[in-house]
Amino acid sequence: MSTTTPKPPSSPSPQPPRIRNTVPKPSPNSNPNSIAAQYARAKAVHDAREAKDREKVAALLNEAGIGSDGAGNGAGERKKSVVERLGERKAQGWAREWTWVAAFFVWVFFIHASGIYFFTKGFLLTRLVLDEKSTCSEPPIALHTSFKGSGTPEAGCWHPKTFGKAVVIVIDALRYDFTIPFANTSESGPAQAFHNSLPFMYETAVREPHNAFLLPFIADPPTTTLVRIKGLTTGTLPTFVEMGSNFGGEAITEDNLLMQLRDAGRRIVHLGDDTWTALFPGYFEEQISRAYPSFDVWDLHTLDNGVNENIMPLLGKDKRGDWDVMIAHYLGVDHAGHRYGPNHPAMTMKLQQMDGVLREVVQKLDDDTLLVVMGDHGMDGKGDHGGESDDEVQAALWMYSKKGIFGRTDPSFVTPPKNAKIRPVNQIDLVPTLALLLGLPIPFNNLGKPIEEAFAGKKGKAWENLAAVARMTAAGIKRYQTAYWTARGIDENTLDGSPRALWEAAETALAATGKQHMWKEGYTTFSAFQEETLRICRSLWARFDVPSMGLGVAILAAGVLALILFANSNANDGDAVDDPELDRKELQLELEQFDKDSEFKGGDETTSRTLVRGALLGTFLGAAGGPAIFFSVKPDSLLNFILGLCTISGLVGVLYQEMRRRMAFVSPFPTTFWGWLAVVFTVSQSIGFASNSYTIWEDSILLFFISTFGVAAAVSSLRLASVLDRTLAVYHSVLFVALGWVASFSKLCREEQMPYCRSTYYASTTSSTSAPWQLAIPFLIAIILPSIIKSYYTGSRSFEGFAPAWISWVFRCLLIFSALFWTLDTADDGEWISSFIPEGRLKAIRVPIAQTIFAIALGVGCPAFVYAPPCVSISTTAKPSSPNAQMTNSSGATVTILGFANTHGTRYGLLLINFLLVLLLVQKPMGAGALSLMAWQILSLVEILDLNALTTSPIGPIMLALLGSFHFFKTGHQATLSSIQWESAFIPMHSITYPYSPILVGLNTFGAQILAAIALPLVVLWKQKPRKKGLLRSVAAALAWHLAYYAVIGLATTMWAGHLRRHLMLYRIFSPKFMSAAFILLIVDVVGVLVALVGVRVNTLGVAEVFGWP
């Protein structure tokens, strides 16, 4: 590759290029007179050369027919005016074409969102909420004869009131094995930090079995706190789609425990997690309730300490009369898990603190107060929770009373279960248990059953009482079941299996009164009725709206076809011959035509404009005809019907316009090896998602695809004619593969990969913090990455203009700040300097550092990108440096434009660097290292594509998409809820702030795909001269191929999730993968338009301002 740049078109913009000469510096030993003389001579030489260079530039312009051949020449002035007007017309035409391109991709986003919406509407069904409420005066069945005095709130509505008060303590993420003793044996392995740190509950249950019991408390996934609170108060099952509301939820309107307490005149106090106040506004005593922000996972102590400061005084004798039910929700254990993982000294400290709190609370209780301590969910080995693994759903339940009313139906049940698989209770079982013990009606929508230990009596033989409470609860479930079937229009007889026979058998058993074994049989049968009803409800709420799912799949499939046709059309339209002489002749013809006819227009009918007009026309017709068709067929929802009709008619309009434009069907299949390789990668990836094993090991498959491309590129590079080009292409191919293998060292294993995978992303498999050695990664990035980027710029002599200052100084300094941020964060996590700096001070230091990085990268870097000139400079030499020198004046000086051959690519690269800074900051050190390797791979990829003449091939955009998908895993993520790094929401902020906190989590989670989408234009722009034609259409085609990959993946995951909707692993593997693919598709759509296309517009305008329009 020649170090000098080739000759550009000889028809630059009307403004001649600025010539920069270097004047020799005088010797420091010279006398003043000699210095003045030398300066005068140098200035005279400089002025003479500058004048001759201007003459040379004017001569070149005249040769092209667009310059001025003499002062005062009227024809020349008129010609110059024509050039300016033609340039303005080209600029306007380009802007119109860009608008149509952007409009097309906005329409593509609408198609993808519509397809995902219709599929999700049929796939993730929400439960129908009934408005009915239970009342004290209307039990679902006649009260049992032994319940004397029942039927009033004072004595007990459906069961005699056992307690007048209750204290409910929620220890967020209290996993069951946190509460049971651990023996260090060869089989169990060494004790971890959470073992034996909370012994009080177990010891009390064993020592005082009539006063306390401890049981596994199983949550229904998803295990987000908000969803679990709904289940713990209503007694109903969650729906999978409700997990998205964890960042903010609406008030609960269906019947629930707190509503029954309020209606009964009970006073409720809340302390802790503010999620309760969002779900139950106006329920709590304002004067003594205290809510604290719940999402700052960095803060382990503020909320817990606030609860402790208020709960102990309220338990005192002087405050005991101010409340009836107290709810205290602690978050320190959950936050310690998220921040450090369960095997960390911070977890030991939080569990020990909770142990001390419970001991003090028990001492302050009176005999009429029931104490309930529970976890709302568990956590996995890293401290996260979503519901995918057993550890995430296995919480603990401990109930205590000084009355001593609890019993066991089997003496062996006195000892709490040794693991969560033995005698577990569902979390929804707490609702009827508390309602009956407090003398309240059971909420109408409840599906749980009473917990046996609370009603078995001290001797464990109170079968009549157990049968009575089980019958009352089962009757309520039966009433709810009937109301639900009626509301949904479902015939109970059409359901698979019916608990009706179990109900009749239980009633028959209770008819034989006075026989102890019949009470036991009745209790057992009513419990079986509840379990069978629960099974049926679970299957009912797992029912799918297949027509809606099919419509979503069809819309996504048609969207894929539209993208492929669009990409093929623009790829053909974008072909251009790189011949300066031909460009000059073409410009002369345009000038002559434009001079004769000022209304002359170039080819304004583009693929984008044609397809967008078809989409708009089809959508308008669908919207216009939708209401009439709606009233004819009468579907369920007018809005959904019109949305579906507009989407389908818009797709028909686009496909019709494309077929009409081509006049005949042209096969969308590729005709080259690289095109077929792109198809094989995409289709193989899509088919593989039908297998749960393939989905689990997706990162390894992606590494194989990346390596395959690198090997193919190396073999193809051996055919290049130039030795230098061949060497560079092979080098970059090998480097591309090697970087992928280095990045593969970063792993975050999911549970299903064990024991064949070892996590390296965090300090250990039971930690969510970075290891000390990983802190070296950000500093290495700050040292090496700017130099790597500089080397790619200098390869085309483009490290000029704004690039040196921004890359070598600003970029490197901000990377050092980022490394400093993560050093302070890890020091805070490890409490390295806690004895020197007060708690919270490190966060007060690092948050401004992060804010500074954001402000400079986006607030300064993006405006600088808008106004920065191209990364070029002009130099003159005494003799021609090469035959390809730009211009030579009469004195023999050569004027060279450095960076001319990569004008577009290097200028656009500045925008990529700005966003790379932000994305590196929001990743943990290991993730930042992986993302830096990805940036290096991107630069090698564009070099490979340029050297092998593949800049317009689909393989480039597809490989970028594969890189984004691969590094999604390397930045510490999986297609699971538990891998979401929620703490990233607080990197540049002290507390949760909407909408920025969710955006930050998105940048952390999908940073690799976002980086790939932003880098996409480089596939086309790298090593392109300033006046190259057809670049916008080539970029549009590349973006279409890039989106087509994600659209195919999204289509495949929806199809397989729908097809495998009864699969055992649906909600553990296939459903999270579908949701991940859907989010990624929409995010890449948005980034492609708002960043990539807008960046190309700004970049092209900046280049054209200097070099003119092609």
DSSP codes, 726-793: HHHHHHHHHHHHHHHHHHTT-----GGGTTS----SSSSTT--S--GGGGHHHHHHHHHHHHHHHHHH
Contact assessment for residue 895 and residue 887, using Cβ atoms and an 8 Å cutoff: yes
Q: Which residues of 281-315 are buried (b: 16+ CB within 10 A; e: fewer)?
A: eebbeeebbbbbebbbbbbbbbbbeebbebbeebb
The rounded distance, in Å, linking the Cα atoms of 320 and 167 is: 11
> Of 622, 651, 668, which residue sits at a domain end?
668
Q: Is residue 855 part of a domain?
A: no
pLDDT band for position 467 (cuts 50, 70, 90): confident
- Which of 231, 209, 218 is CA-nearest to residue 453? 209
Q: What angle do CA 786, 790, 791 make, to 5 degrees?
A: 120
Q: Tell whether 177 and 118 lie within a shared domain.
A: no
Instruction: Tell whether the model's pLDDT for residue 282 goes beyond 70.
Output: yes
Lowest mean pLDDT among 480-489, 1029-1038, 1062-1071: 1062-1071
The rounded distance, in Å, linking the Cα atoms of 739 and 745 is: 10
Dihedral over Cα of 740, 746, 749, 754: its sign: positive
pLDDT value, residue 461:
85
165-171: strand order across its sheet: 290-292, 268-273, 325-330, 165-171, 369-374, 394-400, 212-218, 425-426
Burial of 843 (0-12, 13-18, 19+ CB in 10 A): middle
Helical packing angle, 74-123 and 1031-1059, nearest 10°: 0
pLDDT tens figures, 322-367: 999 999 999 999 888 888 888 888 889 999 999 999 999 999 999 9
Instruction: Tell whether the model's pLDDT for residue 102 goes beyond 80.
Output: yes
Instruction: Tell whether the model's pLDDT for residue 885 goes beyond 60.
Output: no
pLDDT tens figures, 769-793: 788 888 999 999 999 999 999 999 9
3-state secondary structure of 899: coil
> Of 434, 454, 473, which residue sits at a domain end?
473
Q: Tell whether 353 and 238 lie within a shared domain.
A: yes
User: What are the distances in angstroms from CA 92 to CA 13, 317, 601, 603, 662?
Assistant: 16, 80, 11, 12, 26
Cβ neighbour number for residue 922 with a 10 Å cutoff? 27
Q: Tell whether 180 and 241 lie within a shared domain.
A: yes
Contact assessment for residue 314 and residue 269, using Cβ atoms and an 8 Å cutoff: yes
Question: What's the structural domain count of the chain?
Answer: 2
pLDDT value, residue 131:
84
The rounded distance, in Å, linking the Cα atoms of 757 and 277 is: 42
Q: Tell whether 343 and 468 lie within a shared domain.
A: yes
Q: Is residue 1088 part of a domain?
A: no
Q: Which residues of 335-357 are buried (b: 16+ CB within 10 A; e: fewer)?
A: bbbbbbbbbbebbbbbbebbbeb
> What is the percentage of the chain residues whose pLDDT exceeds 90?
39
Instruction: Tell whether the model's pLDDT for residue 173 goes beyond 70.
Output: yes
The rounded distance, in Å, linking the Cα atoms of 212 and 408 is: 11
Q: Is residue 489 part of a domain?
A: no
pLDDT value, residue 693:
85
Q: Is residue 134 part of a domain?
A: no
Question: Terminal CA-to-CA distance of the chain, rounded, Å?
Answer: 25
The rounded distance, in Å, linking the Cα atoms of 516 and 883 is: 109
598 membership: H or E segment, kind and range? none
Contact assessment for residue 998 and residue 247, using Cβ atoms and an 8 Å cutoff: yes
Q: Tell whether 192 and 302 lie within a shared domain.
A: yes
Which is more confident, 667 or 42? 667
Tokens of 986: 């607080």
Q: Is residue 97 part of a domain?
A: yes
> Of 651, 668, 685, which residue sits at a domain end?
668
- Which of 183, 187, 219, 211 is CA-nearest to residue 199? 183
**pTM of the complete model:** 0.79
Q: Tell whether 99 and 186 lie within a shared domain.
A: no
Which is more confident, 587 or 207? 207
pLDDT value, residue 320:
86
Give me the residue label for tokens 């309220």.
314
pLDDT band for position 631 (cuts 50, 70, 90): low
Q: Tell whether 288 and 348 lie within a shared domain.
A: yes
Q: Tell whether 453 and 588 lie within a shared domain.
A: no
The rounded distance, in Å, linking the Cα atoms of 341 and 347 is: 8
Mean pLDDT computed over every residue of the chain: 81
Q: Is residue 753 part of a domain?
A: no
Dihedral over Cα of 568, 571, 574, 575: its sign: negative
Burial of 696 (0-12, 13-18, 19+ CB in 10 A): buried
Residue 172 belongs to domain with CATH number: 3.40.720.10
The rounded distance, in Å, linking the Cα atoms of 471 and 477 is: 10
Q: Tell whether 116 and 185 lie within a shared domain.
A: no
Instruction: Tell whether the model's pLDDT for residue 44 goes beyond 70.
Output: no
The rounded distance, in Å, linking the Cα atoms of 658 and 608 is: 10
Q: Tell whether 120 and 186 lie within a shared domain.
A: no
Instruction: Tell whether the model's pLDDT for residue 212 goes beyond 80.
Output: yes
Instruction: Tell whether the model's pLDDT for residue 55 goes beyond 60.
Output: no
Beta-bridged to residue 372, according to DSSP, are 168, 399
- Which of 227, 261, 231, 257 is CA-nearest to residue 244? 227
Section 710-722 average pLDDT? 93
Beta-bridged to residue 370, according to DSSP, are 166
Q: Which residues of 401-425 are buried (b: 16+ CB within 10 A; e: fewer)?
A: bbeebbbbbeeebeebeeebeeebb
Q: 442's torsion region: left (phi>0), alpha (psi -120 to 50) or beta?
A: beta
pLDDT band for position 621 (cuts 50, 70, 90): confident
The rounded distance, in Å, linking the Cα atoms of 554 and 1051 is: 9
Contact assessment for residue 587 and residue 66, using Cβ atoms and an 8 Å cutoff: yes
Q: Tell whether 98 and 189 lie within a shared domain.
A: no
Compute, in degrees rounded to 10, the torsion defined by CA atoms 410, 416, 421, 423.
Answer: 30
Q: Is residue 378 part of a domain?
A: yes
pLDDT value, residue 43:
56
Give me the residue label for tokens 């300033």.
1026
Helix ranges (H only) for 1016-1061 are: 1018-1021, 1031-1059
DSSP classification of residue 209: T
Q: Tell whether 310 and 171 lie within a shared domain.
A: yes
The domain containing residue 580 runs over which residues?
A: 84-125+546-668
Section 255-268 average pLDDT? 93
Which is more confident, 74 or 395? 395
pLDDT tens figures, 473-506: 988 988 888 888 787 776 666 555 566 777 777 6
Q: Is residue 901 part of a domain?
A: no
pLDDT value, residue 517:
60
Instruction: Tell whether the model's pLDDT for residue 1090 goes beyond 90.
Output: yes
